[in-house]
Amino acid sequence: MILSEPQVTVSEFEARTGWAVKPEGLCKGEVCVPAPEAAVGDDRLDAAVLSTKLGMPLVHDEATGTWALGPESLGHSLTTATAPDLELPDVDGNPFRLSSLHGRKVLLVAWASW
C-alpha cells in the first residue's frame, strides 16, 4: 500500500488488506490483534504501529517522501480462507470486483505476458 505519510485511512487499510478495525483490535478471519495505539483520530491508523503489530514492513523512499506498507507477515500468505473483496481493472481500465462472482465457483488464474 503506497502512502504519502506514515498513516493510512481506516477505509483504505481495510479495502486493500482485508483486515478490519474492530473494538477488539485489528481482525482478519479468526485472528484479532489488539492495537489501541494504532488509532490516529477517528479515521486514520499509524502505519508504524501496524508494522509492529502485524509485521507489515514499512519502506520509505526519502527522495519522494513515499512509504510502502507491506502485507502482514504472520507465517503464511493467507490468514483466512475468506477471499478478499479484490477490485482490479480489465485491460481497458474498467473496474471489476471479485465479489460480483459470489454464487459461482471461481478459478482465479495468475498469468503474464512475460
Partner 1 sequence: MALDLDPEKARPWIDAASPTHPALIDRGHITNELFGFHNVPMAVWIDESGTLVRPAESASVEKRESMGPLPDDLPARIKDLIDEAQQIPDIGERYRAAVLDWVERGADSPYALSPDQVVSASHPRGRSEAEAAANFELGRHLHDAVGKDAAVPYWRAAHTLDPDNWTYKRQAWTLETTPEGQPSDLMQPPTELYEGNWLDDVKASGGGANYLTKPAFID
Residue 109, CA atoms < 13 Å, CB-side half-sphere: 3
8 Å CB contact between 46 and 36 = no
8 Å CB contact between 31 and 63 = no
Could you count the other beta carbons within 10 Å of the beta carbon of residue 45?
Answer: 25
The count of residues interacting with partner 1 (CB under 8 A) is 55
Task: Decide: is 62 part of the binding site for partner 1 (CB under 8 A).
Answer: no
Q: Using CB under 8 A, which residues numbered 80 to 99 contact partner 1?
A: 80-84, 86, 88-91, 96, 98-99
Grid cell listed for 28: 482478519
User: Candidates 5-13, 19-27, 38-46, 71-79 — which segment interacts with partner 1 by CB under 8 A?
Assistant: 71-79
Residue type, 92: D
Q: How far is the CB of 36 from partner 1 (least distance, A)?
A: 23
Task: Decide: is 76 part of the binding site for partner 1 (CB under 8 A).
Answer: yes
Residues in the site for partner 1, rule: CB under 8 A? 1-2, 16-18, 29, 55-59, 61, 63-64, 66-84, 86, 88-91, 96, 98-99, 101-114
